[in-house]
C-alpha cells in the first residue's frame, strides 16, 4: 500500500480519536484531508471542525482548538498541528515518511502506483469505432489516445479491461463504400464511370482501386453484377480495416476485440433485440415503421427501429450491440465517442434501460473537436473532400509521442487547438520534450554513476541510503510530489481523466529540474550523493510509469 495512504489513515484515525476525546462525534471516513496550496499551512489540512460547527452549534475555531488539543501527535505522525483561518486544522508531518516514499518506489520500480481500487471488476472500453470508409483522421486520433490511455490507467488500478472497436461493416455506408470502390475500379481501368452521389471521394479509395487493378487486373470487371458487388464489398472492407489497424498500431493502440456489426445481423441478435423490446412493451408500429418509445425514457422523441422498407436504422444494431455488451457481464461500460454523437447518448441509454439493464453502468465520454493549426492558420479537415488531415499525416508530421501527448494534455471535453509547429519544435516551448528531457537527464546521471554500483542491484543499494540528509526545500517538495503519484493515478483513472496524469508528470519534471539546479548530486559527499541518487532514481521510475500510462516513450537520451 502506498505510503501516503498509510500516513493519511493514521492521521484520520488520530483526528477521529481526538474528536471523540473532546466529546465530538466524527467518523474517520468523513474526515476530508486536502493538501494545502501553501506550505505554511502544513502537509495536510482538514475542514472537519467547520463541518462539525453546524451540528454542534459551536464556533468552528473552538472545535478545532479542542481537537488540536486532544490530538496525540505521536500517534498521528505529526510534528505539530495548528488551527488557522476560519477553523482549519493544519497538520505538519514528521519528515521521516519522506524516506519511506523513496524506499517504496525503489522497491516497486516500474510497478509504482499500481493499485487494486478496481478490484478485478470488468470494464469494457469501446473507442475509435470509426466507419471503415476511409482513413482515420485527427479526431479519431484523439479518441484513440484517450481510450487507450484510459484503458491503461484503469488496468493499472486493478480493473479487468477489454478494449473494443465496433466495426460498422453493415448498412448504408458500406453500400456507398462498395459503389465508390466499384466506380474507382472502373475508372482505374480507364472507363468513364461516375462516382455515386453519396460516395466517398477520399484518395485512399482511389489508391485501393489502382492497387487492385495492378495486382488483380480486370477480374472484378468480368464478374456479373451481384458477384462483383459481394467481392468488392469484402475487398473494400478488408482494405479499409487493414489501413485503420495499421494506423492504430503505429499509434500504439491495440484492441482486444474488433466487434463486427454484421455479426449481429448474422446471429439474429438485431431482430431478437427488437423482439425483446417489443416484449417489454417499448415498441409500437406507426406510419408503416416500427418505433421505439424512447421519449418516455428521457429521449426527445421516439425513434424508428425498422424503416418502412423493412430495413433497420443505424440505431437498431447499435442497441443490439449494447445489449450484447451487457450480456457479456461487464461491470462497467465506457463508450468514447466524438462530440458530434452527443445527441445519440440519450437514445442508447434509453434503450439500455428499456432492455432492463442499469443505464448507470454505461458511461459515454464525448471527445471534443481538435482544430489543427499550421503556421498560425486553421487546417480544415474533411473526410469527404479529400483534404482530410489524417492520423497518419499527424504522426508523420509530429511523431507519435508528441501527437499522443498533445491530445491527452487537455481534458477530453474541451476543444483543442493543436499547434503543429509547436508539437515538432525541439525547444523549451514544447512540453513533451520538457518531460522527456527530465528523464534523459536522469539517465545520463545514472550512467555516470554506474561504475560505483558495478554488479550490484542499484535500487536495493540506493534504498539503504540515509534519507534524513535530504533537507532542502527542493528535495522535500520533489519527494512529497513523488508520494502523491499512486493516489493521483487512481483519481485520474476513476474520473476518466488521463490529462491529470499529464499534468502530474509535467509538474514532476518541473520539480525535478528545479531540484537539479539547486542540488548537486554527483561528487557530493558520499552520504548525500547516495541519497540524492536514490531520489533521482525514484523520479526516473515514476516518470517512466507516468509516461507509459499515456503511451509516450521515456527516451534514455535525446
* Residues of span 386-425 touching RNA by CB under 7 A: 409-411, 413-417
> What is the distance between the terminal CA atoms of the chain, rounded to a whole angstrom?
35
Query: Applying CB under 7 A, which of residues 1, 257, 378, 558 lies at the interface with RNA?
Result: 558
Quick one: which segment of 13-21, 136-144, 336-344, 452-460 binds RNA (CB under 7 A)? 336-344
- Residue 55 in the binding site for RNA (CB under 7 A): no
Angle between helices 431-449 and 499-518 (to 10 degrees): 50
Q: Name the nearest CA neighbour of 21 among 57, 69, 87.
A: 69
**Does position 61 bind RNA by CB under 7 A?**
no
528 binds RNA (CB under 7 A): no
Site string for RNA, 224-263 (x = CB under 7 A): ----------------------------------------
Q: 126, 336 in Cβ contact below 8 A?
A: yes
- The smaller minimum CB distance to RNA, of residues 220 and 291, is found at 291
Distance in Å, CB of 191 to RNA, minimum: 27
Q: Given candidates 97, 255, 516, 541, which one binds RNA under the rule CB under 7 A?
A: 516
Q: Of 131 and 243, which has the nearer Cβ to RNA? A: 131
What is the Cα–Cα distance from 501 to 495, expressed in whole angstroms? 11
Q: H/E/C letters for each residue in 34-64?
A: ECCCCHHHCCEEECHHHHHHHHHCCCHHHHH
The helix or strand, by DSSP H or E, that contains position 278, with its residue range, turns out to be helix 269-279
Which string of DSSP letters, residue by residue, matches 74-92? HHHTEEEEEEETTTEEEEE
- Asked if 79 touches RNA (CB under 7 A), the answer is no
CB of 409 to RNA, least distance (A): 7
Site for RNA in 108-147 (CB under 7 A): 131
* Site membership for RNA, residue 5 (CB under 7 A): no
Does position 523 bind RNA by CB under 7 A?
yes
CB of 323 to RNA, least distance (A): 18
By CB under 7 A, the residues from 303 to 332 that bind RNA are 303-304, 307-309, 311, 313-315
Size (the chain), residues: 558
Cβ proximity to RNA, 213 vs 273, nearer residue: 273
Of 120 and 523, CB closest to RNA: 523
By CB under 7 A, residue 201 contacts RNA: no
- Of the candidates 76, 90, 255, 359, which one interacts with RNA according to CB under 7 A? 90
- CA-based radius of gyration for the chain: 29
For the CB of residue 487, give the shortest distance to RNA in the complex, in Å: 8
Interface of this chain with RNA, residues 159 to 178, rule: CB under 7 A: 168, 171-173
334 CB neighbour count, 10 Å cutoff: 22
DSSP 414: S
Report if residue 441 touches RNA, rule: CB under 7 A. Answer: yes
Grid cell for residue 91: 497538520
Residue 289 in the binding site for RNA (CB under 7 A): yes
H helical segments located in 410-553: 420-424, 431-449, 458-463, 473-494, 499-518, 526-549
CA distances from 187 to 111, 195, 302, 402 (A): 56, 9, 43, 39
Amino acid at each position: 500500500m502506498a505510503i501516503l495512504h498509510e500516513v493519511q489513515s493514521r492521521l484520520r484515525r488520530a483526528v477521529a480519536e481526538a474528536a471523540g476525546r473532546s466529546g465530538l462525534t466524527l467518523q474517520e471516513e468523513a474526515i476530508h484531508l486536502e493538501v494545502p496550496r501553501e506550505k505554511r499551512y502544513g502537509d495536510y489540512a482538514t475542514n472537519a471542525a467547520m463541518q462539525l460547527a453546524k451540528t454542534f452549534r459551536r464556533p468552528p475555531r473552538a472545535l478545532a482548538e479542542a481537537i488540536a488539543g486532544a490530538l496525540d501527535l505521536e500517534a498521528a505522525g505529526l510534528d505539530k498541528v495548528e488551527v488557522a483561518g476560519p477553523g482549519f486544522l493544519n497538520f505538519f508531518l514528521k519528515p521521516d515518511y519522506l524516506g519511506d516514499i523513496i524506499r517504496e518506489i525503489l522497491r516497486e520500480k516500474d510497478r509504482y502506483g499500481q493499485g487494486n481500487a478496481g478490484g478485478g471488476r470488468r470494464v469494457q472500453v469501446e473507442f475509435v469505432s470509426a466507419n471503415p470508409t476511409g482513413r482515420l483522421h485527427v479526431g479519431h486520433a484523439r479518441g484513440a489516445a484517450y481510450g487507450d490511455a484510459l484503458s491503461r490507467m484503469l488496468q493499472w488500478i486493478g480493473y479487468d479491461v477489454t478494449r473494443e472497436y465496433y466495426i460498422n461493416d453493415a448498412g448504408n455506408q458500406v453500400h456507398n463504400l462498395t459503389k465508390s470502390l466499384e466506380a474507382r475500379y472502373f475508372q482505374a481501368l480507364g472507363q468513364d464511370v461516375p462516382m455515386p452521389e453519396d460516395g466517398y471521394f477520399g484518395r485512399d479509395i482511389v489508391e485501393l482501386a489502382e492497387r487492385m487493378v495492378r495486382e488483380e487486373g480486370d477480374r472484378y470487371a468480368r464478374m456479373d453484377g451481384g458477384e462483383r458487388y459481394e467481392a468488392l464489398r469484402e475487398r473494400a472492407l478488408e482494405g479499409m480495416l487493414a489501413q485503420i489497424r495499421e494506423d492504430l498500431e503505429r499509434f500504439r493502440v491495440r484492441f482486444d476485440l474488433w466487434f463486427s456489426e454484421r455479426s449481429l445481423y448474422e446471429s439474429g441478435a438485431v431482430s431478437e433485440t427488437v423482439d425483446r423490446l417489443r416484449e417489454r412493451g417499448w415498441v409500437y408500429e406507426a406510419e408503416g415503421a416500427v418505433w421505439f418509445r424512447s421519449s418516455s425514457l428521457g429521449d426527445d422523441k421516439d425513434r424508428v427501429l425498422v424503416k418502412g422498407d423493412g430495413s433497420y436504422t443505424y440505431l437498431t444494431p447499435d442497441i443490439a450491440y449494447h445489449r450484447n455488451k451487457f450480456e457479456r457481464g461487464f461491470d462497467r461500460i465506457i463508450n468514447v465517442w466524438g462530440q458530434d454523437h452527443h445527441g445519440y447518448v440519450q437514445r442508447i441509454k434509453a434503450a439500455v434501460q428499456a432492455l432492463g439493464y442499469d443505464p448507470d453502468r454505461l458511461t459515454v465520454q464525448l471527445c471534443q473537436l481538435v482544430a489543427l493549426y499550421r503556421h498560425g492558420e486553421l487546417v480544415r479537415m474533411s473526410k469527404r473532400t479529400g483534404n482530410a488531415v489524417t492520423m497518419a499525416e499527424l504522426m508523420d508530421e509530429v511523431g507519435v509521442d508528441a501527437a499522443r501527448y498533445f491530445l491527452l494534455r487537455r481534458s477530453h471535453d474541451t476543444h483543442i487547438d493543436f499547434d503543429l509547429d509547436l508539437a515538432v519544435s525541439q525547444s523549451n516551448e514544447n512540453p513533451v520534450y520538457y518531460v522527456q528531457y527530465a528523464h534523459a537527464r536522469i539517465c545520463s546521471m545514472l550512467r555516470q554513476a554506474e561504475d560505483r554500483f558495478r554488479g550490484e542491484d542499484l535500487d536495493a543499494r540506493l534504498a539503504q541510503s540515509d534519507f534524513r540528509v535530504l533537507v532542502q526545500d527542493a528535495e522535500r517538495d520533489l519527494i512529497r510530489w513523488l508520494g502523491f503519484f499512486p493516489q493521483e493515478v487512481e483519481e485520474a483513472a476513476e474520473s476518466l481523466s488521463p490529462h491529470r496524469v499529464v499534468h502530474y508528470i509535467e509538474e514532476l519534471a518541473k520539480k525535478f529540474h528545479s531540484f537539479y539546479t539547486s542540488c548537486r548530486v554527483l561528487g557530493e559527499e558520499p552520504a548525500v550523493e547516495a541519497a540524492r541518487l536514490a531520489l533521482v532514481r525514484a523520479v526516473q521510475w515514476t516518470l517512466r510509469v507516468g509516461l507509459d500510462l499515456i503511451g509516450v516513450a521515456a527516451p534514455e537520451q535525446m
